[in-house]
Structure 1
Amino acid sequence: MSSIPSEAELELLVLETLADQGWVTAHGTEIDPESGYPARTDFREVVLRHRLEAGIRRLNPELDDGAVEEALRAVIAPESQSPMQENWRAYKLLTQGVPIESRAPDGSPRTVRARLIDFDDPFANDLLAVHQFRVQGQHHNRRPDVVLFANGLPLVLFELKRAGATGASLRGAFNQLSTYQRDIPDLFTWNQLCVISDGVLARAGQFTSRWEHFAPWKTIEGTLASAALPQFEVLIKGMLQPERLLDLVRSFTVFTTEGGRVVRLVAKYHQFWAVNKAVFATTEAVEGDGRAGVVWHTQGSGKSYEMLWYAGKIMRHPVMENPTLLVLTDRNDLDDQLFDDTFAASLPNAPLPEKPVQVDTRAELKGVLSRRESGGIVFSTIQKFGLSQAERNAGQAFPLLSDRTNIVVMVDEAHRSNYDFIDGFARHLRDALPNATFIGFTGTPIESTDKSTKSVFGDYIDVYDLTQAVEDGATVKVFYEPRLARVELPSEALNEIDDSFAEAVALVEDTAREQLKSKWARVEAIVGSSERLAEVAADLVMHWEARRGAFAGKGMIVTMSRRIAAALYDEIARLRPSWVTDDDTTGKLKVVLSGSAADEALLQPHIRTKEARRALRDRAKDPNDELELVIVRDMWLTGFDSPSMHTMYVDKPMRGANLMQAIARVNRTFKDKEGGLVVDYIGIAEDLKSALTD
């Protein structure tokens, strides 16, 4: 006898597990319009109106009959033909309540909000799991396997198959969701999660998610569950326990826009637990020494969204009393990326309670922080906490900006060496905000020799490493291919490229040039010689054409200097003139550099405004756009996310965290992408091995 349950047996096992978590179960025929106790009047209805009305009355006893009827109409009457637009409308009503116009005792108009769900007391809601829930579409009747209702609203959809059965598979269950979207789209207006399982495997995702974004839920109480437990059982107990499900809905969902369309995302298990641990650690640190700790989640596993969900949840936490959140990065382009792509891109209250702001000057930063008594999500670079040379010469300390305790400083890539606690930016941060709480997020581990990071932030809050991310399918493997044998680097240059050189090159180019002085000039001249760049260009073009022929997607070329980037572009353009244009909206090859009008003529065609760089970034992220290759020096090596990017050509010395951050540009999941590839032209093999060991 097979140990794999039949589809009917799996359905019953799912219902039993749901019942153990507090869900009341029923067969569709028990509540159908034709039953003795109908929960709806028509098979076309997907909301259980009677249960919804009872829930509204129970949660809002102050509403009169007219207000209850108004709330019901708002829930049931669609406003758009777009399922995603309707889902966004429903989410706002679900999490913020239905706005009802009424009159205050003095007769003045006022708006109250009718709650549809009690998020604070999950079991105050009517929780119902219905199997074989029949829905009549315009052309077809469909019968989803299991639907979870809260107060009559269909929040979760299960599609179940039997592994090994003819025509049935986990992928078949995923495909069935598309059939439901086509035939019974109304079922997805209130949908928050879709679950698919074949009795062996189980995955969860959004109804609009691509296949690769349906993911397992591997924990029940925050640690990896035993592999002996069925995946559907772990997912139900870990994700669909009512308190946890409602936490996911309210605090771990994000709505954003891409190309003019609304997109929604929900946290995976590692993000959910890390953020909740971080919130708890922060509330504890407020009463302690102000060091909440560091979240290390490997590059590509969704760290930016973790920071977003953390921000939304900590801002609403009652213990924090409407805190001010200061988000710090150490580079302007990273500040722009995190702000533009993640925080400012999220739609209101999904999840942020207020709109974030970005400050451009130190004076503006000081003004914002010193004037605020509460609230606010403020983005800045840590360099704005520096002292001018005149202030240093005068022996001035950084001024006090606020002594409030409900200020949280959230630092991206918290391991970087410039967060120096002794006489650097971290010291000035403490002087400016002495009672603030500090938390760090990083995509690479804190190096064993790095003592200052822990002194500023504290110990690890949560760790999600590269191995686990690949095993979970959160990222793909990255493979290494040396090309030094084809493009030889002279020994005099190799001898100059030691650890200190690689560390300096990771800095902004002007800083690296200043630190390395004559060594920079010697190595840059050799690495960027016209003869060598001609060899690199010829090999790279040949390699990319073969790679691109086998794998659709994009690539990135990383160079040691901006001059080399521009010169390499010219060499490739000479070999493949059809790849390049002077128009940023067309062309297969572009260079992305920072710079100004004062830079040399060679760089000027590649220096753009922030808006122009953003438009080019959108092209690079679009898998259907003809732009295939981008050449960079340091821009886009962190924070840039283009899932279709699968190849990185490295011609820049890098090591440690900077190397790991760079190669993570090619580790994102995308359709059937099996892995990323790092092509080495300068000899990073030992540095890569060392970085992976750390």
Structure 2
Amino acid sequence: MYGQESEQQLEEKLMSRFNGLGYRTISLPDETSLLAHFRELLTQQNIENLHHEPLTDGEFKRVLNELVGAKSHYQIARQLRGSDMNPMGKISIQRDNDETVYLTIFDGLDATNNIYEVAHQITVAGTHENRYDVTVLINGLPIVQVELKRRDVDFRQAFNQVIRYKSESMRGLFRFVQLFVISNGGETRYFANGDGDLNANFMFYWTDKENNWLNDLGAFSASFFTKERLHSLIAKYTIFDSAKERMMIMRPYQIYAVEAIMHQALNNPHKNGYIWHTTGSGKTITSFKASQLLARDTDAEKVIFLIDRNDLDVQTSKNFNSYMTTIPGEQALDSTTNTGSLVHQLQSHDNSLIVTTIQKMNNAVNNPHYKSLLTSYHDKRVIFIEDEAHRSQFGEMRKNVNRWFTNAQHFGFTGTPIFSQNIGPDKRTTESLYDEELHRYLIKDAIRDHNVLGFNVEQMGTIKGRDTISDEQVEGIDTQEVLTNDDRLNNIVNHIMLNHDNKTKNRTYNALFAVPNTTIALRYYELFQEKIKAGSSDLKVTTVFTWTANEYSNEQNQGTDNDTSRHGLDKVIDDYNQTYRTNFSTEDFKGYFNDISQRMKSHDSRTRNNNIDILIVVGMFLTGFDSPRLSVLYNDKKLEWHGLIQAYSRTNRVEKDTKSFGSIVNYRNLKAATDAAITLFSAGDESSFYVKKYDELLQEFIGNIKALHKITEQPNDVNDLYNQGNDALKKFVLAFRDVMRTNNQIRVYDEFKWEDVPGFSKQDLESFQGKYQEVYHQINPNKEKNKASILEDIDFQIDLLSTDRIDVQYIVNLIKAINLEDEDSRQADVNKIKQLLDKAATNDLKSKADLIAAFLDEMVPTLKTGDSVGDSLNAYLAKRRDAAVSEFAEDVKLPVDVIEKQIIETQFYGQADVNEMNKNLSTAGYGFKAKINIKKRIKSFIDDTIKRFTVV
């Protein structure tokens, strides 16, 4: 029925659906008509502020400059929404009579105060002329762009089309597009717009409240595009990361969870609730958004976002501040150790939302002095949001807080709730603590939606002759003696060293190694170091643990001497300082911990000297630590229930196409414990937890190779496909892409041998990869052509080649992440960036490499801890840009504001205002011939300036 449905038919049905939802269809054939329509609606909605005097041409130009100008998409998106507490998008301009007037462009509070329209086939001229399928407008601004493909075409081709449109023609008002929707009728996804490259891994499914996919375009649009839902997506359910200057759109289950919390808070204020969202699904973002809306839209005296101090590494703290603030560099998180600062915040009327730790709150309600200051809160309505509720909310501290705040409402977030099966000594479950479950999103849902990866779990026998017996139940012998035997530990180290590069794709990724106690951690560390010093390996291995007594379970404490552990860690840190040119000690344990955390997250395959390949841990990093670069967990400790799922889940964060799953290598027999935990936390459905078994994947790999050979038998035969046209090349691209995808999955299995693959070798794969890259570069969409190629819209998934891109965005991200905490780390980060600048391959990066290097030399040494490196870079580039404009203006004998105005015109409209330029040159006294030469110089300078000084 659907097979023959064309793209045009899909478009017509979608337009009809919009009409049924109350959108008005308007005809906007081109960009000029879009501008005219926006001008009309802007005047109409602000007519009283304008004193019934429509905008003049000059005033409207000022409006456009204020709206877009030289702003990044991040800045435009923030401007559209106003502030978190007052979400009204407004701008101010100066009228021709010097009066300042404020104009509303979007009402984020009341959906009905906005105008919703839809247009299709708007033609925009740019590098190439593009026609956009369907454009959704709010108040005349293009807010959502929908790109369609017919039903028998891979919907991801529309994603590549969006990328092409962004680079070729999405300028001016089209930079207001907040969301993209792509569909082939049967498969539909949505994703946020932004600066820099878009990532196909962050295309989201839309679902109902029970997490059922709404993939069909009709079902999707009937839910997603209602006016109220679209308004909420724009006004409420976006997150701004001020550190990375990016806008993120929330996933449906996150939205439904926030709405469930808001409903409970507004309608059942005396009843608690919890959200069961699996580890890795973005609970922190969900809880942040819930906190913001509770503070804004309820009558609670205070909303307190309560976290466990032990979950706060340096990067997490930065993320908290990035999400909670509107100004880069501003601190929202109360990170001081002084409880008095928390009490001061509670007493203040300036902030209704507070972020603090449960430890500090416990101190406040137990200290007699502070309790007297907090008497007024004893019975006032306070709402607590508690992240990672499975760990921090079951002890005495939570009871103390409850006793003090008698009129409090609690909302908890957990990926692994406490049930009767995994109950602790206090005999309390998550439901008994939080009253009722408000929303759930399980690990099976997250794996299905590609929000997290599945797992490959390997059980390695380590006790000779007893591989079928649980390592925990060896009869007739001292189990601990066997498990800690030097020969066994040495064999495990040898196994890790032999397989690590393969499992981590040549250290593109890194690993945790979980062990039972600090004594074993140090023994493993010493074994690794002995082999590394002997030249057996160049792995970077370290360990981190706390020596505080009684911090871990009985097994973890067995054989542990706290003084010995601390002395051992002193030696580890000395080695660490030599390796990474740092200066830590156990006296500065927090600095050491934070540096490890940063290195584990910013692992970089290009500069291995700065990496940590394997981090040996006892309890730290096994919960709450999120890093897409972590892909392997080696495990030699007993794990069960929520502890097992939490530890496994460190490895399954989505990164790019080369990371197919999280790898778990158990050196203890945890098969039964794993099955039990999966059953419990998947609500009985464990079907999607595991990735394919080796034999199954091997057959898929062989089948994909056979399909490739039907198209081209040998790598050199690819050359003949160019003569057969685009269809032949397309078949090769799709077939070899499948080969690469399965190769990336199967290569990390210990069992894999190329001998198992008939008629195909590693050399064949590499030769085909070379041909694949040639095809990719031959049809590069940025290449000038008279006719667009069908291959431009194919998803090449070039990341499958494991190529590392060093571009402007990559370098800028590294600059923003420079560690200002100590001089050694700062200089190490600077040196790393300079090395990459020397290898600049893209013309864009080459054009600004000297500017960036100058910033690293001149400004970074002057920055202080807490400064925003990103803000400093922007300020430095602005200063250098102003100097360059002034120098050029003086050279061509024109006022600086004339050059600046032409730069703005070019950025907004894609070209300079030639008529205005002629007038300025005539005023400056230039003759006809001289004008021609100067105009060329001005245009060249403008293009170079925009390219050279723009880094977003």
Residue 326 of structure 1 is matched in structure 2 by 304
* Helix, strand or coil at the partner of 1:116: strand
* Helix, strand or coil at the partner of 2:246: strand
Q: Per-residue deviation at 1:53?
A: 3.3
Q: Per-residue deviation at 1:282?
A: 1.9
* Helix, strand or coil at the partner of 2:305: strand
* Among 643, 666, 674, the residue aligned to 1:688: 674
* Among 486, 495, 499, the residue aligned to 1:543: 499
Residues 285 and 437 in structure 1, CA contact (< 8 A), matched pair in contact too: no
Residues 580 and 589 in structure 1, CA contact (< 8 A), matched pair in contact too: no
* Among 594, 600, 624, the residue aligned to 1:614: 594
Q: Per-residue deviation at 1:116?
A: 1.3
Q: Structure 2 unaligned runs (5+)?
A: 549-561, 574-585, 681-952
Q: Per-residue deviation at 1:675?
A: 1.9
Residue 148 of structure 1 is matched in structure 2 by 136
1:413-448 CA-to-partner distances (Å, cap 9, x unmatched) read 22348624xxx2232112221111111110113313
Residue 510 of structure 2 is matched in structure 1 by 554
Instruction: Map 1:115-514 onto structure 2 (within 5 A).
Output: 115-137=104-126, 139-165=127-153, 169-186=154-171, 189-208=175-194, 209-219=198-208, 222-224=209-211, 231-256=216-241, 261-286=244-269, 288=270, 291-317=271-297, 319-320=298-299, 323-330=301-308, 332-336=309-313, 340-346=317-323, 348-349=325-326, 355-369=332-346, 375-382=352-359, 385=362, 402-416=377-391, 419-420=394-395, 424-448=396-420, 449=423, 451-485=428-462, 494-495=472-473
Partner Cα separation in structure 2 for residue 350 and residue 467 of structure 1: 37
Instruction: Map 1:518-529 onto structure 2 (within 5 A).
Output: 527-529=483-485
What amino acid is aligned across from residue 227 of structure 2 in structure 1? P
1:100 aligns with 2:92: yes
Partner Cα separation in structure 1 for residue 9 and residue 645 of structure 2: 46
* Helix, strand or coil at the partner of 2:275: strand
Residues 288 and 324 in structure 2, CA contact (< 8 A), matched pair in contact too: no
Partner Cα separation in structure 2 for residue 632 and residue 62 of structure 1: 68
Q: Per-residue deviation at 1:300?
A: 1.1
* Helix, strand or coil at the partner of 2:319: helix
What amino acid is aligned across from residue 653 of structure 1 in structure 2? K
Residues 366 and 401 in structure 1, CA contact (< 8 A), matched pair in contact too: no
Q: Per-residue deviation at 1:664?
A: 0.9
Provide closer, same or farther for how the CA distance between residues 470 and 66 of structure 1 changes in structure 2, counting only shifts above 3 A.
same
Residues 394 and 428 in structure 2, CA contact (< 8 A), matched pair in contact too: no
Residue 18 of structure 1 is matched in structure 2 by 18
Q: Per-residue deviation at 1:149?
A: 1.1
Provide closer, same or farther for how the CA distance between residues 417 and 567 of structure 1 changes in structure 2, counting only shifts above 3 A.
same
Q: Per-residue deviation at 1:649?
A: 0.9
Partner Cα separation in structure 1 for residue 289 and residue 366 of structure 2: 38
Partner Cα separation in structure 1 for residue 598 and residue 179 of structure 2: 28
1:366-385 CA-to-partner distances (Å, cap 9, x unmatched) read 55435668613121134752
Q: Per-residue deviation at 1:453?
A: 3.3
Q: CA RMSD in A?
A: 4.0
1:111-134 CA-to-partner distances (Å, cap 9, x unmatched) read 986421122332332212111111
* Helix, strand or coil at the partner of 2:219: helix
Provide closer, same or farther for how the CA distance between residues 376 and 387 of structure 1 changes in structure 2, counting only shifts above 3 A.
closer
Partner Cα separation in structure 1 for residue 451 and residue 224 of structure 2: 17
Residues 55 and 126 in structure 1, CA contact (< 8 A), matched pair in contact too: no
Q: Per-residue deviation at 1:190?
A: 1.4
Q: Structure 1 unaligned runs (5+)?
A: 42-46, 104-108, 498-521, 582-586
Partner Cα separation in structure 2 for residue 101 and residue 308 of structure 1: 34
TM-score between the two structures when normalised by the length of structure 1: 0.79
Partner Cα separation in structure 2 for residue 343 and residue 112 of structure 1: 36
Partner Cα separation in structure 2 for residue 389 and residue 282 of structure 1: 27
Partner Cα separation in structure 1 for residue 107 and residue 536 of structure 2: 57
Partner Cα separation in structure 2 for residue 688 and residue 397 of structure 1: 49
Provide closer, same or farther for how the CA distance between residues 72 and 486 of structure 1 changes in structure 2, counting only shifts above 3 A.
farther
Could you say which structure has the higher helix fraction? 2
Provide closer, same or farther for how the CA distance between residues 612 and 152 of structure 1 changes in structure 2, counting only shifts above 3 A.
farther
* Helix, strand or coil at the partner of 1:358: coil
1:78 aligns with 2:69: yes
Residue 563 of structure 1 is matched in structure 2 by 519
Partner Cα separation in structure 2 for residue 693 and residue 178 of structure 1: 41
TM-score between the two structures when normalised by the length of structure 2: 0.59
Could you say which structure has the higher strand fraction? 1
Query: What is the aligned residue count?
Result: 625
Partner Cα separation in structure 1 for residue 485 and residue 358 of structure 2: 35
What amino acid is aligned across from residue 468 of structure 1 in structure 2? D
Q: Per-residue deviation at 1:205?
A: 0.7
Partner Cα separation in structure 2 for residue 141 and residue 409 of structure 1: 53
Partner Cα separation in structure 1 for residue 165 and residue 616 of structure 2: 43
Partner Cα separation in structure 1 for residue 337 and residue 481 of structure 2: 35
Q: Per-residue deviation at 1:303?
A: 0.7
Partner Cα separation in structure 1 for residue 498 and residue 250 of structure 2: 40
Partner Cα separation in structure 2 for residue 207 and residue 486 of structure 1: 54
Provide closer, same or farther for how the CA distance between residues 77 and 307 of structure 1 changes in structure 2, counting only shifts above 3 A.
closer
* Helix, strand or coil at the partner of 1:602: helix
Provide closer, same or farther for how the CA distance between residues 398 and 72 of structure 1 changes in structure 2, counting only shifts above 3 A.
closer
Report sequence identity in percent: 22
